[in-house]
Structure 1
Amino acid sequence: MKQFEAIHNTLPEDVALKIASMLSVRDLCALGCCSRFWRELCGLDCIWEALTRERWPSLACFQFSASSSSSAPPTAPNVKEWRKLYIAKHNEVAAGAAATAKFVEDNSSSKSLEGGDYLKAINSLNDMKFGFKDVQMYLFKPELNVIINLVGLQYCFTWLRIPGDQLKEALQMSEIADRHVCIKWWKLGRWFYGFRMRDESYSRWASLADLAIDDDKRLLAVLLRGAIHEVLRVQICSEDQHTTPWSAQITQGHG
């Protein structure tokens, strides 16, 4: 205690604030347990406001300044509430991620997921305004079904507009970059001299890293469109259910 009191007496408050503002949430909380001085400083709203805005930049209510006048919209957080707001949103996101993972697992019969359910899972993340860090923390986990990893990847690309190189790096850090999925889609048979030919099936194996940096994003586009227009059905399978070689392939002629 005397050591921390000495630091308090010799360290300018602006320098201490700068140190605290550079820490992660975990380290900030740990530092706040050291003394009363650090607890009060690490609980300042200016620090937690920055952390909240960084983690969830798309939330509309965060567009208002916490120190704005009383004429601010009622959704603007109170000047004393940023830490509480961060904790509440963190818990909400954790519960939402668990619910999304359970939804995917419950609807993945034989390790495969239909395109409609896949899009529902992605839309649920958007409804909760997941941030990139949320996806990395809760969905980019190697112990989860690879289809759940793919849901997170598609959300980051489609809604958050995360660049492919940044996505690939996040996948590698989470040790899931080399996990594979098989994407299947069925297209309506073409008409030929008054006769409709057999429906065509296509399948493609790809790693999560390949999907992230694929220049034309063809497979992600197929998944995002789902069963519309000429596409009759879209299905995603995990690598655990198949022994197909990892090389990409296209097959046709499914009736």
Structure 2
Amino acid sequence: MKQFEVIQNTLPEDVALKIVSMLSVRDLCALGCCSRFWRELCGSDCIWESLTRERWPSLVCFDFSASSSSSAPPNAPNFKEWRKLYIEKHNEVAVRAAAAAKFVEESSPSKSLEVGDYLKAISILDDMKLGFKDVQMCLFRPNLKVLVNLVGLHYCLTWLRIPGDQLKEALQVSEIAERHVCVKWWKLGRWFFGFRMRDESHSRWASLADLATDDDEHLLAVLIRGAIHEVLRVQISSEEDHHTNPWSAQITQGHG
């Protein structure tokens, strides 16, 4: 503790501010709990202004510092407390993201989810206009079901068009990259000399990181397409549920 205090007392403020500006929001809040010095530094308006502008560029396209002047836009808020603004906006996003996660869970009371509801959950995220940071902070959480993680991943990959390497890094930071799902699907049996063969069953395990980087393009295509054309049914189970019920968290849809 004494060594920490010596570093704190001898560290130039501009250097300390530069260090703080490189931290994630989670690390910034954690550092702010260490002492009064770091609490004041981590609460600096310039730090939270940068974070707010980065996460919601369309929200703060103008300079709030000029909002009190007569030349400010008519609807510009008279607001300079950037940390407070960030927290308020984040809480709004968190409530919407929680509603999407709740929809996924309520749509699967018996731990099974219709593919229509799965795709609807992704569409809900699009309607909410969640950004990549929003998904990272609210849906890429290890305490949520892997199915919710998967919905967030799918949304980032196909709607936000986040590059696979960047998405994989985000999964690793959130400690969910190695969470696995098992995808099982049934294909319509082929016709052979006037007889239809038995329906074909396929299954494959994949981590969220594998799906993010398209390491298995065919598996990702099955998830995106769902149960259409020759695919009769699609099921997804999580690694956590596999030990008790191998297909307990599933996405299903009947043919036709």
TM-score band w.r.t. shorter chain:
0.5 to 0.7
- SS, match of residue 162 in structure 2: coil
Residue of structure 2 equivalent to 1:99: 99
- SS, match of residue 61 in structure 1: coil
Contact 1:104 1:121 in 2 (8 A): yes
Q: How does 1:104-119 map to 2 (within 5 A)?
A: 104-119=104-119
- SS, match of residue 60 in structure 2: helix
Q: How does 1:24-63 map to 2 (within 5 A)?
A: 24-29=24-29, 30-31=31-32, 34-35=35-36, 40-54=40-54, 56-57=55-56, 60-63=58-61
| Counterpart among 63, 66, 78 of residue 64 in structure 2 | 66
Residue of structure 1 equivalent to 2:80: 80
Contact 1:122 1:155 in 2 (8 A): yes
Distance 1:25 1:213, change over 3 A: closer
1:237 aligns with 2:241: no
Residue of structure 2 equivalent to 1:149: 149
Q: How does 1:140-179 map to 2 (within 5 A)?
A: 140-173=140-173, 174-179=175-180
How far is the alpha carbon of 1:154 from its aligned partner?
0.4
Q: How many residues are matched?
A: 232
Contact 2:146 2:179 in 1 (8 A): no
d(CA) in 1 for partners of 2:176 and 2:165?
15
Residue of structure 1 equivalent to 2:251: none
TM-score by length of 2: 0.67
Distance 1:97 1:81, change over 3 A: same
Greater relative contact order (CA < 8 Å, ≥ 6 in sequence):
1
- SS, match of residue 180 in structure 1: strand
Contact 2:185 2:231 in 1 (8 A): no
CA RMSD, 1 decimal: 4.2
Identity within the alignment, %: 61
Which amino acid is 1:180 matched to? V
Q: Unaligned regions of 5+ residues in structure 1, if any?
A: 244-253
TM-score by length of 1: 0.67
Which amino acid is 2:237 matched to? S
d(CA) in 2 for partners of 1:231 and 1:62?
48
Which amino acid is 1:106 matched to? E
